[in-house]
Structure 1
């Protein structure tokens, strides 16, 4: 198993992306520390992963709470001996469909604040333990890696938030590389199977995402999990400060 013996912390573990990552990590042999704000959903996920033969430890943690994140990470390291993989995929509560010129400041700022704060706090907490062991992998998620604006649909502060996280990823990689810590991004350009059925612009957004791809389909949650396992494993030991393109050809590197 590619991640046997590794401890992986997933913040936002019970969400759609978090579930995909947690499931893939557990299947690859990692002990997955499921962090989120709702105990019941975390327990349900932990039970499912254990039922499939995986190792899972649920904990109620708010990824925006500095004290809570630090305490949880310290507890994982103290109890299980290491923090080897860390990723935050909490919901950043973005407002979409309203043109920027008509959007409130609060709606614009919210995703930027949530994305940068959660990524910084969780990465910092993990890095402090990874530095001592001179190894570890920090992953970020979201966007298409290209930084191109949306021309036909307004996504508010989301693109700004994702590009801010992307630069944070590169800066973390630059500062932590000498300690053997790798920092990688996972870019999908959008996972359409995650769009809610009651989302008014669902078909419009699906057509926009799929229409940009070369493969004629968008990435799936299973794709995200599989690539994350590779990125976190020793097979990707030479990779850092870069993003893994899971856009099905929507972005040509």
Structure 2
């Protein structure tokens, strides 16, 4: 198993993407520590991980609260000995469908502020322990930073993605000498993560798939499998970059 003996904290572990990564990590042998603001969803994912033979712990932690995140990271180290992998898949509080000229300042900045704040706080908390431990580690972000579709009003979502991509590069530069790798898993949209009752679901799925070169979009299972690879020693030469899981929707 590629992640046997590794300890991974997943911020946003109760969501669709976080849950997919947690299940994949569990199957790969990692002990996963799931955090989020709703214990019920975290516990449901943890039950799936345990049912497949993995180990999972849950804790209600707000990734925007630096003191709560720092305390949880310290608790994980006390319980498990170290932190090997930190994954932040916190959903951005974005407002879409409104032209920028009609948006409020608060709505436009919400995804930028939330994304940058949560990823800075969680990266700082976990990387400090990785550096002190001396055995390196992996920080994984999730998002995208390609050109937005021209027929969508995405507000500040892409601005937030771009800010996080710069953060990833800077973290990789500063943490590389300590053996800590930093990567972004980049998708062009995951149709199976969209609620079945979402408005215009069929049109959204068609838009996502239509932008790919392969005629299909990545699935949640694909993201989980790629995350396992990215966090494993098979990817030990990779840092400071994005892992393209867009089926060709974004070209590097």
173-182 vs 106-115, which moves further = 106-115
Q: Distance in 2 between matches of 1:132 and 1:58?
A: 24
The Cα RMSD (Å) is 1.1
1:136 maps to which residue?
Answer: 137
Q: Distance in 2 between matches of 1:233 and 1:33?
A: 17
- How many residues end up aligned between the 2 structures? 251
Query: SS where residue 17 of structure 1 aligns?
Result: helix
Q: Distance in 2 between matches of 1:210 and 1:169?
A: 27
2:63 maps to which residue?
Answer: 63
Q: Distance in 2 between matches of 1:192 and 1:43?
A: 24
2:74 maps to which residue?
Answer: 74
Q: Tell me, yes or no, if the aligned pair for 2:14 and 2:41 is still in contact at 8 Å.
A: yes
Q: Distance in 2 between matches of 1:76 and 1:165?
A: 25
2:46 maps to which residue?
Answer: 46
1:69-108 superposed Cα distances (whole Å, 9 cap, x missing partner): 0000011012111100001111212111111111121211
Q: Distance in 1 between matches of 2:201 and 2:104?
A: 23
Q: Tell me, yes or no, if the aligned pair for 2:115 and 2:160 is still in contact at 8 Å.
A: yes
- Structure 1-normalised TM-score? 0.96
Q: Could you tell me which runs of 5 or more consecutive residues in structure 2 were left unpaired when the two chains were aligned.
A: none
Query: SS where residue 226 of structure 2 aligns?
Result: helix
- What's the offset of the Cα at 1:242? 0.6
- What's the offset of the Cα at 1:33? 0.1
Q: Could you tell me which runs of 5 or more consecutive residues in structure 1 were left unpaired when the two chains were aligned.
A: none
- Structure 2-normalised TM-score? 0.97
2:105 maps to which residue?
Answer: 105
Q: Distance in 1 between matches of 2:210 and 2:43?
A: 38
Alignment of 1:74-93 (within 5 A): 74-93=74-93
Alignment of 1:144-183 (within 5 A): 145-146=145-146, 148-183=147-182
1:225 maps to which residue?
Answer: 224
